[in-house]
Amino acid sequence: MPSAMFVAVQHDCGPMDKSAGTGPKSEEKREKMKRTLLKDWKSRLSYFLQNSSSPGKPKTGKKSKQQTFTKPSPEEAQLWSEAFDELLASKYGLAAFRAFLKSEFCEENIEFWLACEDFKKTKSPQKLSSKAKKIYTDFIEKEAPKEINIDFQTKTLIAQNIQEATSGCFTTAQKRVYSLMENNSYPRFLESEFYQDLCKKPQITTEPHAT
């Protein structure tokens, strides 16, 4: 369920309204909101880092080693701004981007893209068929719980393709969603407070030597 902190964010992945007024009180309010958003960002990020297993693979009851992800250096984080693929190739970057999309109420886009990536690696025809149907019911069909924004023609084509599922069933839709994220969500992610915070180099303070 979306956090109440983000009710002011537009559902169509639009940017937040920044017209919060002027003056000391407004500035203080903005700073407080900024700290709250960053705190919520970090809790979301922690969740996605801990649950970064492949889509469709439920966790077993067996004890497994806890995966740990080191926070990237400012230089590493800055590489994400060079290309969208650089961001997606980083586990930490991907988790951060998912957290950002969740804050904008459009995490279905990255979830669909990840599901497609997992789908393309599937070798078994039986698993391919069952995964295709699940992706269709989760993301494609009308009133799907995580329905993505693609045109009716593409949806119809997918509905036909999954009858005899192949690894290319969702190629067109995946490319459209990738382009949507690259051209809309990705630039806003790079402007977000959280990403800017990751890119900040720690300030080195030197204490004066006693004479």
User: Which tens digit of pLDDT belongs to each residue from 39-66?
Assistant: 666 666 666 666 654 444 444 444 444 4
- Across the chain, mean pLDDT equals 79
Range 109-133 average pLDDT: 95
Range 66-89 average pLDDT: 87
Q: Are 108 and 148 in contact (CB under 8 A)?
A: yes
Spatial separation of the C-alpha atoms in residues 112 and 109, rounded to whole Å: 5
Range 169-175 average pLDDT: 95
Spatial separation of the C-alpha atoms in residues 104 and 16, rounded to whole Å: 9
Q: How deeply is 26 buried, as exposed, middle or buried, from its count of CB atoms within 10 A (0-12, 13-18, 19+)?
A: exposed
Spatial separation of the C-alpha atoms in residues 52 and 91, rounded to whole Å: 8
Q: Write the pLDDT tens digit of every residue in 5-33.
A: 333 333 446 444 444 455 566 667 666 66
Residue 35's pLDDT is 60
How many C-beta neighbours within 10 Å does residue 79 have?
15
Q: Are 162 and 136 in contact (CB under 8 A)?
A: yes
What would the CATH number be for the domain defined by 70-199? 1.10.167.10
Determine what percent of the chain is predicted with pLDDT higher than 90: 56
* pLDDT beyond 80 at 117: yes
Q: What is the largest CA-CA distance in the chain?
A: 82
Domain map (residue ranges) of the chain: 70-199
Residue 60's pLDDT is 42
Q: Are 146 and 112 in contact (CB under 8 A)?
A: yes
Higher confidence at residue 69 or residue 197? Answer: 197
The verdict on pTM exceeding 0.85 is: no
Residue 175's pLDDT is 96
